Every structure is written in C-alpha cells, then in structure tokens.
Chain A
Amino acid sequence: MDAESLAPSLSETARIARQALSDVAPEPGVHKPDPILKAVGVRRNFGGITAVDVDRVEVQRGSITALIGPNGAGKTTFFNLVTGFDKPDAGNWSFDGESMEGVASHKMAARGMVRTFQLTKSLTRLAVIENMKLGATGQRGEKWWNGLLPGTWRSQEAEIEQRADELLARFKLHHMRDEYAGSLSGGQRKLLEMARALMTNPTLVMLDEPMAGVNPALKQSLNEHVRGLRDDGMTVLFVEHDMDMVHDISDWVIVMAEGRVIAEGTPDDIATNTDVIDAYLGAHQGLSLLEDEL
C-alpha cells in the first residue's frame, strides 16, 4: 500500500518531508532529521493524575504531523504546555533550536509558532476583516501613543489589510469580510481562525482539533487548506480524532495514550499498529483503525 499513489499529487515540499521521514524508524520518541519542535521529559500532573508524561517528541520541519489518541490521552494538555498556555511540572522543549522554557504564550507567536483552539475563538464582536488584521504582528499602531497619531500606522494598516484580503479570498471568506464574526457559521469560523493564524507569518502552525464540529462537506476543503500550509513551507502539527483526515494528509503520526507516547510512524504504520488499536479499542483486536471511526 503506497500512500503516494493514493493521495493526490504531492508538492515538492511534501516530497522532501516524506523523503526525510522515510528513513525514520516508527518508534515512539524517535529522533527526526530536522526537528523544528523538540520536547524532552515533559510532565504535567493535575491533583494526583498524571496528564502528560512524555520522554521525547520531535516534529519534523516541513511535515504535517498528527497527534492522535483516545480521549484523556493528554493531547490537548501537551498542546497547551508546548504553546505556553500551561506550565509543565518538569521538562523542557525547544522551538527552532531555541529553548522555550518559561516563555510566555504570547511570545510564541513572535517566534513563529501559532496555535488555534478546539472551541473556535472567533472574536465575535469584531468584523471578519478586523479579526484578520488583529493577527498581524509588529503593528506600530498597537502602541497607544502611536495609536493617537494615525499618520504613524495608516500605511502599515493598508498593507496588512491587503494581506488580510488575500488570505480571506484564499479561504473563500472574502464575501463576509465586513460582517461580524459572530454571524459566521461554525465551519466558516474554523476557516477564519486558520486564516487569522496565518497572518502571524508562522513557521509552525498548531491546530487543536481543526475538524471538530465541521460538516463533512467542508472537511475536504479544510484538508486542502492544511496541505496548502505545508506546501507554503510551514510545519503543521495537529490534534485530531478524525482518522480519515489523519490518514489523508499526515506525513507522520504520533500516538498518545494515558499521557505517554505509545507509537509513532507513517499513517500506514499506525493504522496496523496493535498497541495503538489496543489503546483505542480495548478488546477489539485485529481491526484496522480506519474501519472504526471514533
């Protein structure tokens, strides 16, 4: 079963990423040739329960990596830890070679790491275009003394607006540009959040359950957008339950259960991995994950 022959034609970046990963053994905690994100010895307890206990996780630059696992595996907690939205009890991780220990969540975006949220956080009382413009980093007008003098930020704002319009067009949201984000449908809000995240010019995009609550008609288009991110040179790490998406677009899959990484590999490796199947299905042995959607 050759993933390449089933999937639509891959871009050059995807080819490179898959090439790099093809030499990597499907072992939990395995090293990657060119990791953009490295987490070592990360632990998080909540009142006696160990939510996360990860020895090593590395994410290959330029790939689409999926983070999967049954409910309560600690995926979102790990996500929060690595993006600075939670503090670990132990461990450290680095992004793009720089240590991220103790770095506050808002500094992440400045360094090139952006995340989305499982429960979409569209800023409902702002217009779609304003949502987008908010995403741009390094805005002069965001200092209050500059804010008073439109001259200092008008031109930058125009540039930002142009970029925002382009992204909105790409995500097919341009017609809703001046509407309140609150009037968008659930699926549209997902797209908005993804588009907004791109305004930060990230190198690593971290999506927390991007398919949650999205109607099937939109899923294909979302898949395309995620692929597009990789093709533009970004690395994507996403948490998902939707196995079809995982299989369709990921270059690499990391499986967590009960706070630990129990398996890693290509989607095909994982689909037939008995440890993974056990973790998900318990007594149901011998079934490929693809046939049993969770």
Chain B
Amino acid sequence: MMQPSRWSGHQPRRRAAQLVLGLLVALGALLCSQVASAQDSEIKIRVQVKDQQRDAQGSADNQPVAGVTVNVLDEAGTQIATAVTDDKGVAVIPVPEKGNYTVQIDEETLPDDKVLSTAAEQKVTTEQFVTPTRTVNFFTGTSQSASQGQLERISQRIADGVRLGLIIAMCSVGLSLIFGTTGLTNFAHGEMVTFGAMIAYVLNKSGLHIMLATPIAVVAGGLLGYVLDRWGFGQLRKRNVGLISQMVITIGLAIILKNLFQFFFGGRDKPFFDYTNQVGKKIGPVTITPRDLIVTILSGIVLVAVALTLQYTRLGKATRAVSDNVDLASATGIDSSRVIRMIWIAGGALAALGGVFRGLDEQVSWDMGTALLFLMFAGITLGGLGNAYGALVGGFVVGVLVETSTLFGVPTELKTAPALLILILILLVRPQGILGQAQRVG
C-alpha cells in the first residue's frame, strides 16, 4: 500500500534531521539487539512448516508456509491440541509435560500447489525435550500437479532473468564508469551493493517501512561513494598512487566492509519486514509476486532514466566523454574531477538501490554483494569496460543467461557458471565487449 510522500516540499534541513534520527534509531536498535531473550519455563512444541527453495547460490532459501493446521496427539492417540501456523510458518503448542507425542500436519490445509516432502507425522519423545521447547520441522515442495508446462517454465526463467539482469545492470553502471574514467577496477563495489541493503534493513527493522527506507539507503549509498572519492581514491589519484596499488586498496576496503556487515548483521540470511509472504499472481504464463513485479518495473524505469540521463543531459554527455578519453575531455573544458566525483556518487546510489531490490528479491545477507560482484564483472566485460550503456546491456544479458541456464540442464547451484564461460568467450572473440571500442594493440 503506497504511503503518500511526506518528503516533497519540505526543507532539506528537516529531511536531514529525520535522516539522522532514523540512523540513530537504527544504531540504537542494533546495539540493543544483543540482549538475550527471557527464558520461558512452559513446555511447548514449536512446529515450523517451510517450503524448500534454493536461491541463486544454491543454498537453502526456505519460505514459511502459513495457514497450515497442526495437530498434537498424546501417547494414546488422542488429539490434545491443535493450532494453525502464522505468517512465519510457526505454530507454538503448549503441552502438559515432557512426554511422548505425535505431531501431525493436516494436509488438506496446505496451499494448493504444495505437497509435503517429509512425512505428515513426526514423533516427539520425552528425551527430546532438552529445553522446555521442542522444535519440529516439516518441509513442503511444489507438487507434481502444479508443475509448470514447458512454456510456463521458460517464461518463468526469463522473467527471473530479466529481474536479475536489471538489478545487475543497475549495480554495475557505477563499476564500469569508475573504470572508464579513472582506470580503477573497484573490487569493493559488491560491498557498496550490500551497504544499501544493510542500511535499508536496519531502518526497516526499526520500524520504517521499506518504501521509506529505500530512498534513505540510496542517499546513504551516494554518500558512501562521495566519501570514498573525496577522502579516498581522489586523494590517492592526486598523490599519483599507481592503479595496481589502488586496486589492492579496494580489496582491503572490501574485506573491511564485508566483515563489518557480518559483524553487525550476523551470518544468516534475513528478509525485509515488508512484502514478505506474498502469493504469486499469474500473469500470462508467468507466476510472480506483486513485490517482484514492482521491483522489476522500478528497475526498468531507473535504468531507462539512467540511459536518458547519459544520452541527453550535460552531465551525461560529459560522463561519456570523460569515460572515453580523460585528457581529451579535459581539453574541451570538462571538469573531469567533478565528473568523476559525480560518478562515484551516482554509482554508489545505484548500487545501493540494486542492493535493496536484491534484498527484496532474495533476502538480505552480509555477502550478497560479493556474490553479485563476479556477475557484475562478467556483465561489464561483455558490454564493454568503461562503457555505461555496455554495463546496462551486459549486465542484463548476464542476468537472463544465468537464470535461463537451468533450462539447459545446468543445476541451480551452478547457474552462475555460464557467466564465466561467457566471460572467457567474449575475451577470446571480442575483448572490447559488445559496445566497446577496439583497443590499439601495443
């Protein structure tokens, strides 16, 4: 549900104050979150029903199944309690004592397209109550009757690929332009993506709706880019530090940021708090949740805006000129350092936005950006290193390729492998990429 925008028309100062307040609240929430939860001495059985999925890296990405009826029977077989799983897929059932019980799933209450992939019944014994609460897990998977036809499967993969491709494209524009203008390959760019998701998560967790958290995260991303150029790489460029040294510094930066994120966020994947548990709607041959649909559309809009900016605005033209040939651009009066500064800011903002969208798509994790980095590199190499349009095209192609590769027998856990093959192929055949200029040899 869209909230009316409260930001338009107010003074920047108030907005900044709210931003700072939001950040302080987030920080406070983080620090306070270390408090251990109070112990409960009642005996309970905690039933979790999860739908098994695999994410882009092939690791478990289980979604909760809500609305399932769970029955608990005692040793004699008499039903003593019943409950329904909440929107986190959990039902907590109090039992009189630590003893032997049978936990049953009422299969008729499962969603239409899901079947249990474990048994419908599990037994719980007295010894298993090590703590007062005993957890029992049930897993579901997509049922045969609901399995998609050929066309539907292909369309689904393409839709997923489009979504991933748009996100990769968005994240990698900055990466490509930073390379084009300064010659620096920024190995910390993945962390700039994660950064956006982290900021949004922290704000979201402290109560701010994701729609409001996102613009703040984008601004934060832009700010990060500004800081990195102003006090980091801009200074190194001034001191004439070699490109390889700068590259190694981006690696050090990536290590610091990665571990910083893990430090605060923890090792597990976590979803945002809004728009979870949506039901997929069928649009033509494709089943897609409203959230994913909107992410796709918004990504497309943002990328079109980026392309238009590059094509028609002064800044866009200056950017393309500097990216093509720094000295020539400077000779025509363009302030190259200002353009480079803007690229870092815009690149950081776009990466942050991509991170939020990715987090909505696939949950937030401390290393989500690192996993994307290699795909971003494949994309910008395919499109042409240093070419902004190349990043858009290349990133998009890589995304579609990765998702559709499963149609050709590539196992889900290895679906990023074709991106490496594409990388090697393009370097063998046309190293300058699709849109790049052929480099003069020697």
Contacts and interface: CB of A to CB of B under 8 A. Distances in A.
Interface string A71-113: 0000000001000111100000000000000000100000000
> What secondary structure prevails in chain A residues at the interface with B?
loop
A47 B442 CA distance: 18
A85 B437 contact: no
B437 A105 contact: no
A276 to B, nearest CB: 28
B437 A47 contact: yes
> What secondary structure prevails in chain B residues at the interface with A?
loop
A105 B437 CA distance: 22
Interface residues of A, number: 7
B442 A86 contact: yes
Contacts of A80: 440, 442
Contacts of B437: 47
Interface residues of B, number: 4
Interface string B406-442: 0000000000000000000000000000000100111
Interface string A101-144: 00001000000000000000000000000000000000000000
A87 B440 CA distance: 9
A85 B442 CA distance: 5
A262 B442 CA distance: 27
Nearest to B440: A86
A86 B441 CA distance: 5
Contacts of A86: 440-442
Nearest to A77: B440
B437, B440, B441, B442: which has the most chain A beta carbons within 10 Å? B442
Contacts of A87: 441
B438 to A, nearest CB: 8
Contacts of B441: 85-87
B209 to A, nearest CB: 50
Contacts of B440: 80, 86
A85 B440 CA distance: 8
A80 B442 CA distance: 8
A274 B199 CA distance: 71
Interface string A213-233: 000000000000000000000
A62 B440 CA distance: 31
A85 to B, nearest CB: 3
A87 B442 CA distance: 10
A47 B440 CA distance: 12
Interface in B154-195: none
Nearest to B441: A86
A87 B438 CA distance: 11
A72 to B, nearest CB: 13
A171 to B, nearest CB: 26
Nearest to A44: B440
A105 B442 CA distance: 9
A87 B439 CA distance: 11
A150 to B, nearest CB: 31
Nearest to A80: B442
Nearest to A87: B441
A47 B438 CA distance: 9
11 contacts: A47-B437, A80-B440, A80-B442, A84-B442, A85-B441, A85-B442, A86-B440, A86-B441, A86-B442, A87-B441, A105-B442
Interface of B: 437, 440-442
Given A80-B442, A84-B442, 9 more contacts: A47-B437, A80-B440, A85-B441, A85-B442, A86-B440, A86-B441, A86-B442, A87-B441, A105-B442
Across chains A and B, which 10 residue pairs bring their CB atoms closest together, nearest first? Answer: A85-B442, A86-B441, A105-B442, A86-B440, A85-B441, A87-B441, A86-B442, A80-B442, A47-B437, A80-B440
